[in-house]
Amino acid sequence: MPKTKLPAVVSTFCLCFVFWLLLTWSFTAQEMIAGAVVSLAVALFTSHFFIHEDAFWLLRPAKLAALISYAFVFLAELVKANVDVAGRCFAGCKDVNPGIVKVPVDLKGDYAEDMLANSITLTPGTITLDIAEQDGKTWYYIHWIDVAETDREKAGELIKGRLEKEIRRIWE
């Protein structure tokens, strides 16, 4: 088990405390002290699960800008896919052609892979079933509601779109 490190504890504490403030939305001294105590306890016990790499990457302007631009790209993809799947549902659900494709992914680090897998799952029409490592490469198994392309590279381009590039900018 990795050791608990001070920067990780500090950043986890900040995140927990911000969430506490947003959820209670009262700035009296009592509430804030209680929140600080609870956040500190949570941060001490869970920071080594939560932070593995640089604890303060979000404070670097380039990374923050990449995260914000990713949010907009992701929202655009989300709306596009939502309209597509909702159209299929209203058209009687007969126009589906499901299948599971294996797609190569070129990302480094657990966080980046996790983020891309979750983004793909969150987009209607594609669900990540599993992540496997073979021959030094990372592969996603993705259930796709409308298999337009069975070739792995091209299917990957269609599914991942611009998301992979944006996520690579955030984490590398």
Partner 1 sequence: MRIVIDILIAVGFIFALAGAKGVIQMPDAFCRMQASTCITTLGILGVALGGALYAFFVLGSVGTGVKVLLLGLLILTINPIGAHSIAKGAYKSGVRPEKEMEIDDYGRDFHD
Q: Which residues bind partner 1 (CB under 8 A)?
A: 19, 22-23, 25-26, 78-79, 82, 85-86, 88-90, 92-93, 96-102, 117-119, 121-130, 132, 141, 143, 145, 147, 150
Question: How far apart, in Å, are the Cα atoms of 11 and each of 5, 46, 58, 148, 160?
Answer: 10, 11, 10, 43, 31
Residue with tokens 């914000």: 68
**Shortest separation between residue 75's beta carbon and partner 1, angstroms:** 9
**Shortest separation between residue 20's beta carbon and partner 1, angstroms:** 11
User: Would you tell me how many other CB atoms lie within 10 Å of the CB of residue 125?
Assistant: 19
C-beta closer to partner 1: residue 11 or 128: 128
Q: Of 64, 12, 1, whose CA–CA distance to 38 is shortest?
A: 12
C-beta closer to partner 1: residue 61 or 97: 97
**Shortest separation between residue 30's beta carbon and partner 1, angstroms:** 17
C-beta closer to partner 1: residue 4 or 84: 84
Q: Which residues, including other chains, have CB under 8 Å from residue 159's CB and lie 6 or more apart? A: 101, 103, 120, 126, 142, 144
**Shortest separation between residue 166's beta carbon and partner 1, angstroms:** 16
Amino acid at 95: D
